[in-house]
Chain A
Amino acid sequence: MNKIKEVCAVIIETIGSIIGKMGRAFVNFFKHFAQGDKITKLSYVVMGAGCFLRGQKAKGFIYLGIQVCYILFMILSGGYYLSMLPTLGTNQQGEVWNEELQIYQVIKGDNSMLLLLFGVSVVLVTFGIFILYLMSVNTAYKNEVAVKNGEKLLSFKEEWNMLFNEKYHITVLALPVVLTFLFNVLPLIFTICIAFTNYDKMHQPPGNLFTWVGFENFTQVLYQNPLWATTFMRLLTWTLIWAFFATFLNYIFGMLLAMLINKKGIYLKKMWRTIFVITIAVPQFVSLLLMSKLLNDQGSLNNLLISLGWIEDYIPFLTKGNIAKITVIVINCWVGIPYSMLITSGILMNIPQDLYEASKIDGAGPIRQFFSITLPYMLHVTTPYLITQFMGNINNFNVIYLLTAGDPKSLNLYQAGETDLLVTWLYKLTVNEQNYALAATIGIIIFLLLSFISLVTYNNSNAVKGESDFQ
């Protein structure tokens, strides 16, 4: 209960500070308009007026240019896409009888997908322009105040030089921000929008239209559609079980392996470490695809065991539901143990040795030492790592997809197999089933799940508190 309270407090605090900042900006916006002189007032209509009328020619004309471009863009195409956003198109593609030519002619309908994509882009561009507008208004007022106080305004060259010093962050972050916006933020907002439409196999543009359906996809997948709901619940359960085992088995065994290699009296420590590192260094699509072929019903491992006479019939490592689940967890140990061995080995050596010596005098054996000294110390230091690992395993696409591709298939599940995680289900829904709406819905649910986990855990771990403390 306490944790939830704390999380709520953090959320309320954040929202509060955002509202506070916005409110102040809002008040300033009108106050500056009322207090400003003619030029400042003019710059509320003509962007950059407060700059070029006060001598900052280049800066002012850049602002003006942006405004002109934006208005032209909205008239030429932006306005159309914005107006289509509420309906996502009304004209369906179809055939119309042409009297003159005596034939059926295909007329192009609206493409809902493109309308949504461009609509979202226009909204984002407008938002960006709005921020620039606020900046220009702000500059205009500041310039007025500066001129009144008899200060000299910065020349374009001075401002340009500031980009490499006081305002270096703008120079540095401009390109990364643009790339992130184009290829992460915009696609993500578009996809989130799709979760609230009926964009599935039956509604594929350009042949068909799709439209907004509100929260229907969410209610369908949570309880209304029995097949979807069972699939979702079973995959969610399996995803959590998988993430738990994949994280903690790897962690514990990796740590034990690291302790074994670190132990006094073991020779060739570096060689042993390298042997295990090789397996994580080999690209996963190679090692895991190979594993799946090795464990195939007719694969080499079964053949080897049969020819050795250890088993009579092949073992369905990857083709029987529960065996397959165990197999993927075990194979994931093969992938993950060296990894956590690598990570923990350095930290293990940092544990103060006198702790062990003192406990030895008190008569503690190696097992007692592990549970009373090593494990608590390691858990304390590596909690953030464990959290990221757990979240990473919830989204562990590679291991499942390359090993089993989610198989064995099951009739009780909608487009999913026994070993499918939510994230591989999302992939299958997108690529095989083209049910983009459901896939996007699952994506949002995974996001909510992960943010819940990270909010609860991160805000309670020490590593996050006071980020700049150690600088």
Chain B
Amino acid sequence: MKQVNEKKKWTPRRARRLASSILGHGFLTVLSIVWLFPIAWLIMQSFRGEPGAFTKYFIPKTWTLDNYIRLFTETHLFNFPRWFMNTLIVAIFSCLITTILTLLTSYAFSRLRFKARKPMMNVILILGLFPGFMSMIAIYHILKSVGLDQSLVALVLVYSSGAMMGYYIAKGFFDTIPKSIDEAALIDGATKNQVFWHIIMPMSKPIVVYTILTSFIAPWVDFIFVSVIMKDNYNMYTVALGLYQMLTRENIQQYFTEFCAGAVLIAIPITLLFIKMQKYYVGGVTAGGAKG
């Protein structure tokens, strides 16, 4: 009876709940505005008709698609379509190699028991403690000594070479699959190779998807290794470094709005992919991510 009364009557408790709900929603709205403000600005700038890097006003006075069109037609200095193709090629190949190698490594560390297992995991842990690009100059010289510098193959190699180091998340996932399943298969005469491809893989769809997506995204957002490997060969750049190049002091006045257009084009698919895979991401970081 009391509850029914509460719903109908305007009690102080109900008023307080309503107030806190309004306050909560209001606060979230303000935060959302703060968080989306720069992104809204990016999208508006990409449609801005007036030239120059900075304007004295926030909302563009003329709206145009020119920035997007110029991005694909004016290719003499900054060849965006070429960069896009470069990145796509690198992303596809490094994604293929990385996914297979990461999953195999994780499977080995999770399921197989061999003498070198613990030492190898320790070595990977130690390697991970060095700053990532500390050895970038050495990598460049190694690639150069075999004649691979300034080539897309070099990028594919560099991005896939980290495959083994990123085994943590997939291993965390494999660890949760009961061992009795593969033991049953082994007793039935399956080899470990068959167990991996026919039993573990079909059960690990989420982690396969996650590994594919993360390794596919990596080349789109890295600009450090590209700049070291490609030097000033603009035609071999990937989109991240190319767009970065548009904002240097010499170029920013002319290319700022084009940068925004390019950034929007790259950010949309990556954002969609990320939103799609966020649950795997969380699972990975909290479950297997931190364990050795």
Contacts and interface: CB of A to CB of B under 8 A. Distances in A.
A165 B105 contact: no
Contacts of A265: 17, 20-21, 24
A232 B177 CA distance: 47
B73 interface: no
A287 B137 CA distance: 28
Interface in B28-55: 28, 31-32, 34-36, 38-39, 41-42, 53-55
Contact of B157 (A118, A179, A276, A388): A179
A179 B164 contact: yes
The interface centre, meaning the residue of B17, B120, B137, B263 with most chain A CB atoms within 10 A of its CB, is B137
Interface in B143-175: 145, 157-158, 160-165, 175
Interface string B41-71: 1100000000001111110000000000000
Interface stretch (A47-55, A62-70, A219-227, A288-296): A288-296
B139 interface: yes
B20 A299 contact: no
Given A187-B139, A265-B17, A267-B25, A334 B35 contact: yes
Given A280-B274, A464-B291, A179 B130 contact: no
B289 interface: yes
A278 B39 contact: yes
A282 B271 contact: yes
Secondary structure class of chain B's binding surface, majority of residues: helix
Contact of A117 (B25, B142, B273): B142
A464 B252 CA distance: 49
Interface in B239-287: 240, 243-244, 247, 252, 256, 259-260, 263, 266-267, 270-271, 273-275, 278, 281-282, 285-286
Contacts of B191: 161, 164-165, 168
B107 A184 contact: no
B123 to A, nearest CB: 8
A443 interface: yes
A229 to B, nearest CB: 20
Nearest to B24: A266
B165 A180 contact: yes
Contacts of B136: 187, 430
A393 to B, nearest CB: 13
A175 B17 CA distance: 61
A286 B42 contact: yes
B161 A274 contact: no
B39 A287 contact: yes
Nearest to B28: A272
Given A172-B112, A183-B161, A283 B220 contact: yes
A282 B270 contact: yes
B290 to A, nearest CB: 3
A187 B192 contact: no
B41 A173 contact: no
A307 interface: yes
Interface string A148-177: 000000000000010011101101110111
B285 A184 contact: no
B248 to A, nearest CB: 11
Contacts of A173: 104-105, 108, 120, 164
Contact of A179 (B20, B53, B133, B160): B160
Interface stretch (A243-251, A318-326, A342-350): A342-350
A467 B28 contact: no
Given A180-B164, A300-B58, A463-B290, A279 B274 contact: no
A199 B109 CA distance: 39
Nearest to A439: B134
A77 B78 CA distance: 43
A330 to B, nearest CB: 11
Interface string A264-277: 01110000101111
A114 interface: yes
B112 A187 contact: no
A191 B142 contact: no
A463 B252 CA distance: 48
Interface stretch (A91-99, A137-145, A445-453): A445-453
A290 B223 CA distance: 16
A430 B58 CA distance: 39
A179 B291 contact: no
A5 interface: no
A113 B116 CA distance: 33
Contact of A291 (B38, B137, B266): B38
Contact of A451 (B129, B281, B291): B129
Contacts of A343: 282, 285-286
Given A172-B105, A279-B35, A285-B221, A464 B292 contact: yes
B202 interface: no
A210 interface: no
B132 interface: yes
B47 to A, nearest CB: 15
B134 A440 contact: yes
A283 B266 contact: yes
Interface stretch (A28-36, A255-263, A356-364, A367-375): A255-263
5 contacts: A168-B192, A187-B142, A190-B138, A385-B286, A439-B134
Cβ-closest 7 pairs across A and B: A384-B290, A183-B161, A187-B138, A281-B274, A187-B135, A443-B134, A176-B164
